[in-house]
Every structure is written in structure tokens, then in C-alpha cells.
Amino acid sequence: MNLEKKLEKLGIETIREFTPREVRYIAEEVTEALVRTFSVLEEKYNEILIKLLNCKMYFANVKKDSNISNVNYIYENNSIYFSKNINFNKVDDIIIHECIHYLQDNRNDNGKLKKIGLCGFDEFSTYGMGINEAAVQYMASKSIGRNLEVTKKNGIILKTISPNYYPFLTNLIYQIIYLLGENVIVEGVITSKENFEDMFLNTFEEKANVIIKKIDRIIDLRNKANEELKLESKEVINKEIVDIYLELQDIIVKTYFDKICNKINTIDEVDFCAEKIINYKQYMGIVEEKRFDLNDEFEQYKQSILNKFDRKVIEISKENSKNTLSVVYNNRLFRFFKKIISYFTA
């Protein structure tokens, strides 16, 4: 599809190109927001700014009945289109989101699109769009100062940094960030380096592709729901989104901790991982009617992992010729207080 047909289909009508001054304003505001929020990007300040300064930006009429936002990155001509009605007094998460997409654009020597951040392109399909959108929206929301907040979507109570835009996906990406760390994901999003992909595959192994494909499925269903006019059809689609979301978070937590049990080799690592699973539930989505169930499936799973950690401590202590009973006692005492803290802060 050529550019004109693509813009027409989306409901975008170009008015005029930004002046250099207007481009500089957006470039500086977005760069400052990203670098101020994510210290791992500090050394890339000039690189990000220069790239944004070279971005083609346009004012446009955006049809009210279209399903697109007021700011859109169009990869066909590597440009960003802004609705003429957008408020530039404060750069918001939508502007930052689309500017990140521009920064992510990674092409081969022939100019063919190869990757956009964590999303890969081949001749017939895209791969990883969902996890990339989730990570980009997480970064955009955090860049404007948003924090995690509790919301309810389709009968699920969850914490998200973006309650009105990709709430399920940004919750899932936060769970992944909690397990793998923020810096490696931020770098992967901005630079398209494969460090995150490598860590993700090494962590989740055979489940990695399952997670990525199911997150992509949520994106597809969300788009389908936005296009659907019938309420009954929307409800069916939203139910499927919830089912996939609950399945995904179950896969993520169980795959991570099942595999980490076989990889940790020191008592410090055991305590670090024990703290992670003790505090994990506060970041998980919970079916509303089950929110007071203290004997739910996760609690049972968490206890089974803590039992494995106890056995791991004994194994490590024996190997190191330490006082096993003393170490186990201290370890259990640590967990007891962490459970109390987690209960009152969840």
C-alpha cells in the first residue's frame, strides 16, 4: 500500500510540515523526558535528540470517526503526523509514545524495515508487536510522571501505569520488568539491541514464544474490539482478552520461578528470589470476586516455591560447611517479616 492510500485509509489528511522550530520543541521535550526518567539513556542524550531533530513531522486533519490517536508514527515514510487540534503546551504520553516508535525504526541497507524496538518484521508478518507496544507505553507513561495505580478492567483488579491505554499489557510488562529489570528493556526498546531478547529467551526458554504470541493476540483482539459495533461481540472479545491475560501472568510467574530454582547457587540469591515471589502478588491482576481468597492458586504455588528455596538453602549450606539450622532459621525469620510487610502494603 502506497503512502497516500495508507493515510487515506487511516483518516489522515496532511496540512503542512512542521517548521524547524516546532520540530526542535518536540525533540527537546521528548528527549528531556526520556533521559530524566531513565538514567540508562543519559549517555544517549545527543543521539536521541539529533535523531528526533531529523524527524519529519506534519500537522494533519484526523477524522473523528477513525480509530487512531491524535499522533501517529507512519513507518512507510518514517514520519509523525499530529492532529491540528493537539495541545502542545504539555507533551503527553501519546506524543512520547509515537516519538519512541520513530526512534525504534531499524532498517537494513536497502531501507527495508527490519525492527521497531522489540517488534520484528519479515516478508509476511510481524512478531512481538504486543510486547513492544506494552514496553513503549510503559516508558511513555513513566516519562510524564505517572505511577502504578489500581484500576478495574473487565472484572479484573490490577495495577498499571497506564489505566486508559493498554492496561492489561502495561501490567504484564511491569511484571516482566519486576522479574528481569528495567534497564535491559528500556535499552531494547530504544536501540533495538538484542540484549532483552536474549535475556527473555534465556529466562523463559520454551515458553518465550508462547508469551510473545499471546501478547500479540491481545493486541489483535483489542483492535478488533475497537472496530466492533455490537455490544455482545465486544463482551465476547473482552472475555477472551481477560482469559489470555490471566493465562499469561500464570505462565510468566511459574516459568520464571520454576526455572530460577535450578539456577540459584548462593544463599543471597535464594533470599533475593524469595523476596521477589513474596512481593509478587501485589503486581498481579486479580479476578474481582476472588480478591480476598487467601488460599488461591498463587498462594499455594508461592508456598511450594518457598519450600524449594528452603531445601536449596540446606543444600548450599551443606556444600559450604555452614551451620544449616542457623541459616534456615534466619532465612525463615526473614520471610516471616516480609510476609507481614507484604500483607499490609499489597
Q: Is pLDDT of 275 > 90?
A: yes
- As a whole number, mean pLDDT of residues 232-252 equals 94
Residue 296, number of CB atoms within 10 A of its CB: 15
Instruction: Categorize the per-residue pLDDT at 176 as very low, low, confident or very high, splitting at 50, 70 and 90.
Output: very high
Answer whether 158's CB lies under 8 Å from 170's CB: no
Closest CA to 242 of 200, 294, 290: 290
Instruction: Categorize the per-residue pLDDT at 251 as very low, low, confident or very high, splitting at 50, 70 and 90.
Output: very high
pLDDT confidence of residue 112: 79
The dihedral built from the CA positions of residue 291, 295, 297 and 301, taken in this order, carries a sign that is positive
The span from the CA of 234 to the CA of 232, in Å, is 5
% of residues, the chain, pLDDT over 70 = 90
Give the lowest-confidence range in 22-26, 170-174, 199-203. Answer: 199-203
Helix axes 297-319, 324-345, angle to 10 degrees: 150
pLDDT confidence of residue 326: 53
pLDDT confidence of residue 324: 46
pLDDT confidence of residue 1: 59
- As a whole number, mean pLDDT of residues 304-324 equals 82
Predicted TM-score of the model (pTM): 0.88
The dihedral built from the CA positions of residue 237, 243, 247 and 249, taken in this order, carries a sign that is positive
Instruction: Categorize the per-residue pLDDT at 282 as very low, low, confident or very high, splitting at 50, 70 and 90.
Output: very high
Question: 45-65, pLDDT tens digit by residue?
Answer: 999 999 999 999 999 999 877
pLDDT confidence of residue 13: 94
| Cell numbers representing residue 171 in the block | 501490567
Query: Containing H/E element for 143?
Result: helix 129-143
Answer whether 88's CB lies under 8 Å from 27's CB: no
Distance in Å from the first CA to the final CA of the chain: 49
Instruction: Categorize the per-residue pLDDT at 329 as very low, low, confident or very high, splitting at 50, 70 and 90.
Output: low
pLDDT confidence of residue 271: 93
Q: Which residues pair with 126 in a beta bridge?
A: 121
Give the lowest-confidence range in 90-94, 269-273, 316-320, 322-326. Answer: 322-326
Q: Is pLDDT of 286 > 90?
A: yes
Q: Is pLDDT of 291 > 50?
A: yes
pLDDT confidence of residue 214: 96
- As a whole number, mean pLDDT of residues 255-274 equals 93
Answer whether 280's CB lies under 8 Å from 203's CB: no
pLDDT confidence of residue 331: 56
Instruction: Categorize the per-residue pLDDT at 292 as very low, low, confident or very high, splitting at 50, 70 and 90.
Output: low
Q: How many CA atoms lie within 13 A of 296 on its CB side?
A: 14
The span from the CA of 73 to the CA of 65, in Å, is 19
Question: 119-150, pLDDT tens digit by residue?
Answer: 887 766 778 899 999 999 999 999 999 999 99
Question: 10-19, pLDDT tens digit by residue?
Answer: 899 999 999 9
CB-based contacts of 129: which residues, under 8 Å, 6+ apart? 119, 216, 219
